[in-house]
A and B are shown apart, each in its own frame.
Chain A
């Protein structure tokens, strides 16, 4: 049996076919059965009789390709059609490949197909797939005569020799997180490529209708701004990019000031200079310096971080602490801002604003009753405030981005008391209503929170999906203070990139929710939960794989860099380390091969060469064609200083070369080694 199969494996089609089969198997779970059968049929077309006319065969293959792709289109849309189509093209190409070059093409394309197939396989099985795929690919690329054993042996040898370099590349290659678009934005790709102009969506819209915005819909990946931080990048959970601030709720939607955008009034109520704004703060710490590249949105908001510490040209700080532009942002623009990330407000609240920040339209009676109850229970507004937050924290609420809003005049009531499932903007609205009912002036702030930290760089990309809403309550002695319902309901949401990377599919509910006072510090620790790996279970190897292979990411690399005490962009350090390591590995490889080569030379000849080298160093001109006895004679005549030591060596060598039987190898080697004309 084996005897009859082995010759088959000596031919390239078998190896490229095996690799193709492996790649197809990787895609199999995601493909309908008929598609898989079609692909196998495509491969089987290889065994069509050669007597068939070439045109008919090509036509049949084309028909198969069209049918498969079309069926996939109807069955699963464009995505499946592309996948099935490409796999079909690959299978058919293999079926018609006859010469070595074609097989190489199939092998390379199969490697790509295999990579795309295992995208979702973050476990041991994926690792096995990749390993087997690499061996098959290199075996298929064999360019020497030889059977299956030779191919496999050479493939394994090549992989083993490539391993040190591959490991070094793997460890040090900077893992700036994808997708490629984000990397592109970081590098300066125009943000307008995908951004539509206009103030729609949470964080930009001038009205806010509860439940009227989705962060998951199309366009959620569109960039809003790209921020580059100077000196250090704060934890993304601390980044509140401030947009529209709402006071007025009419029972249906939240609205901006009636005369918005009245520039004269806004300028009057706001601050033209950041220094004068700082005077209104009791405390301002953690200064961050950053530049923002903003996609055009047509509005006035420059999305400064809470709270502004430095302005750019043509901008001012509004009454509600937003950084505002004098003119609408209709073109992509870059500007530099500064902000205090930790602050305490010390401003009084004027009567008009207090009235608006306490106003409640008709409706939501139960929240109003709860608010009244809270205000009666606690004298101190601060305690009332904390209690309201604690209610949200411990009330069994759940966070769901696409939760439908109950709607109607009792919408927030039903969210709070019945549905208990909502998103940031819904909870923020409900909390604002509750606080107002409890007699605490409150406003609803929208904008963006966090952003995607491009690990190893100082960039944060803020996208539409980072739109956020939070609450600010005015407390005596503390001024406007932030409360973020999302941190209370779903603390894991802003646990940071590291936390997200290892987030299991079904996140266990944190039994002990963090206290309301400083949620971000509490949750900044990543949840160290093991990934829920499917497939084969080999705990140790899988754990090792997870730790060192699967989850080696930019965050971890950034920690190495900071752990080594290095400042500056991490990717540059990594590239430097990569270059050094590659040079080191290559140098070591070169030295090893030199050593091997030297070892291949017999010891006697090595000793003779060393002797000849030292002679040369002593100034004796050597001619490779010269016979040793003549050299000895020449030394005796010309170099009496060297002759006493050198000539016996030469005689021993002559005996060794021309009368090996009975020659004293050890004596020759010792004498050759002893010959040191230049001891200094």
Chain B
């Protein structure tokens, strides 16, 4: 099995990644058949069977070349972190481009193979790989591979793609009630909707809060910060406050996070010693769900 240097222009730290060319089980079986054909041909000194064996053998060897060529000029683009809730199937997307036309490309991870796709010459395509069966947590798929087969499916050429991170959030418990404002409020009530100041824009902030006047004078966006969010106390979600098994409690918290966002409330979260300050928006939700995904009971 030939090992070739990765031609995809990866940086130096990734250069050690291996590429390999292996026959598929079907290819191994065809090779064994060819050897049997050859033995039959020798045994009976039959040239027609020799011819048959050699044609199969040559096609087999040619298929290796085809598989190699399919992958040789393919470049792997950025792999983004993918997240999903437990029970859902996260799908990895990788963009690849190639100088020449390449067929039979797919993403694979361990025994999972994504759907086969092809790249036109000097074109791009997106390869997807659904990764079912992952449990809650952060999974680094560092043996994610880009594979190509030949048109007969006899050989598989594969190459390490960049690693991908998959976050599996807890399953969402639907229809959970938000706990009432509990303990200390997140923000002191100084008055309803009083402007407290401005802060830099964070992704997920509602556009209506952007202070356009300030933004017009500056290079970056700022948003208005109001006292007490929308005027009500922040909700505190606490793992310790729930009952049941860990996964059930985490699911409930995940459901509460979504419910809080849906209700337009600010929420904070306490996971054991970890504490996420009350906030709202997509980034905050993501931070909370990530914390839930990564949570390990000590």
Contact = CB atoms under 8 A, between A and B. Distances in A.
A134 to B, nearest CB: 5
Contacts of A600: 100, 121
Nearest to A550: B47
Contact of B26 (A104, A169, A177, A597): A104
B43 A169 contact: no
Interface in B33-80: 33, 36-37, 39-59, 61-63, 65, 69
A143 B150 contact: yes
Given A166-B54, A170-B54, A593 B69 contact: yes
A597 B56 CA distance: 26
A346 B151 CA distance: 75
A165 to B, nearest CB: 4
B150 to A, nearest CB: 7
Nearest to A108: B33
B149 interface: yes
A589 interface: yes
Nearest to B57: A169
7 contacts: A115-B37, A119-B44, A141-B154, A143-B104, A143-B151, A144-B104, A159-B55
Contact of A158 (B26, B53, B54, B63): B63
Contacts of B43: 178-180
A6 interface: no
Interface of B: 25-26, 29-30, 32-33, 36-37, 39-59, 61-63, 65, 69, 100, 103-104, 116, 121, 149-154
Contact of B153 (A126, A141, A169, A550): A141
A141 B30 contact: yes
Interface of A: 101, 104-105, 108-109, 111-112, 114-116, 118-119, 121-122, 126-127, 130, 133-134, 137-138, 141-145, 154, 158-159, 161-167, 169-170, 173, 175-180, 183, 549-553, 589, 593, 597, 600
A137 B60 CA distance: 12
In this complex, the member of A111, A114, A134 whose beta carbon has the largest number of chain B beta carbons within 10 angstroms is A111
B42 A115 contact: no
A104 B104 CA distance: 18
A114 B69 CA distance: 32
A104 B29 CA distance: 8
A645 B46 CA distance: 66
The 3 A-B residue pairs with the shortest CB-CB distance, nearest first, are: A143-B153, A162-B58, A165-B58
Nearest to A143: B153
B33 A109 contact: yes
A169 B58 contact: yes
A597 B69 CA distance: 11
Contacts of B41: 115
A342 B49 CA distance: 41
Contact of A126 (B26, B36, B48): B48
A552 B121 CA distance: 44
Contacts of B61: 162, 165
Contacts of B104: 143-144
A137 B42 contact: no
B37 A112 contact: yes
Given A169-B57, A550-B47, A115 B52 contact: yes
Contacts of B57: 165-166, 169
A1 B121 CA distance: 38
B64 to A, nearest CB: 11
Chain B's interface: helix, strand, loop or mixed, by majority? helix
A114 B53 CA distance: 12
A53 B25 CA distance: 30
Contacts of B50: 170, 173, 175
Contacts of A553: 45, 47
Contacts of A118: 48-49
A126 B36 CA distance: 19
A159 B59 contact: yes
Chain A's interface: helix, strand, loop or mixed, by majority? helix
Contacts of B58: 162-166, 169
B46 A119 contact: yes
Given A143-B149, A597-B100, A130 B52 contact: yes
A333 to B, nearest CB: 28
Contacts of B116: 144-145
Contact of B29 (A105, A142, A549): A105
A102 to B, nearest CB: 11
Nearest to B52: A130
Contacts of A551: 47
A165 B34 CA distance: 15
Contacts of A163: 55, 58
B154 A180 contact: no
Nearest to A546: B47
Nearest to B63: A158
Contacts of A114: 52
B152 A143 contact: yes
A109 B55 CA distance: 16
B38 to A, nearest CB: 8
B216 to A, nearest CB: 33
A142 B54 CA distance: 19
Nearest to B50: A170
B48 A549 contact: yes
Contacts of B150: 143
B49 to A, nearest CB: 5
B25 to A, nearest CB: 7
Contacts of A111: 33, 37, 52, 56
B55 A162 contact: yes
Given A111-B52, A166-B59, A179-B43, 18 more contacts: A104-B29, A108-B30, A108-B33, A111-B56, A115-B41, A115-B53, A116-B40, A121-B48, A127-B48, A133-B52, A154-B151, A158-B151, A161-B59, A175-B45, A176-B42, A178-B43, A180-B42, A549-B51
Contacts of A142: 151-153
Contact of A178 (B29, B45, B100, B152): B45
Given A144-B151, A170-B54, A130 B59 contact: no
In this complex, the member of B44, B65, B100, B104 whose beta carbon has the largest number of chain A beta carbons within 10 angstroms is B44
A282 to B, nearest CB: 43
Nearest to B37: A115
A591 to B, nearest CB: 13
A552 B47 contact: yes
Given A141-B152, A179-B43, A593-B69, A122 B59 contact: no
A162 B154 CA distance: 14
A176 B41 CA distance: 11
Contacts of B47: 170, 549-553
A549 to B, nearest CB: 6
A122 B48 contact: yes
Contacts of A166: 51, 54-55, 57-59
Contacts of B37: 111-112, 115
A175 B37 CA distance: 14
Nearest to A146: B151
Nearest to A181: B43
B51 A162 contact: no
Contacts of B151: 142-144, 154, 158
A597 B121 CA distance: 10
Contacts of A145: 116
Nearest to B29: A108
A156 to B, nearest CB: 11
Nearest to B30: A108
A618 B151 CA distance: 43
Contacts of A122: 46, 48
Nearest to A109: B33
Nearest to A171: B54
A645 B44 CA distance: 70
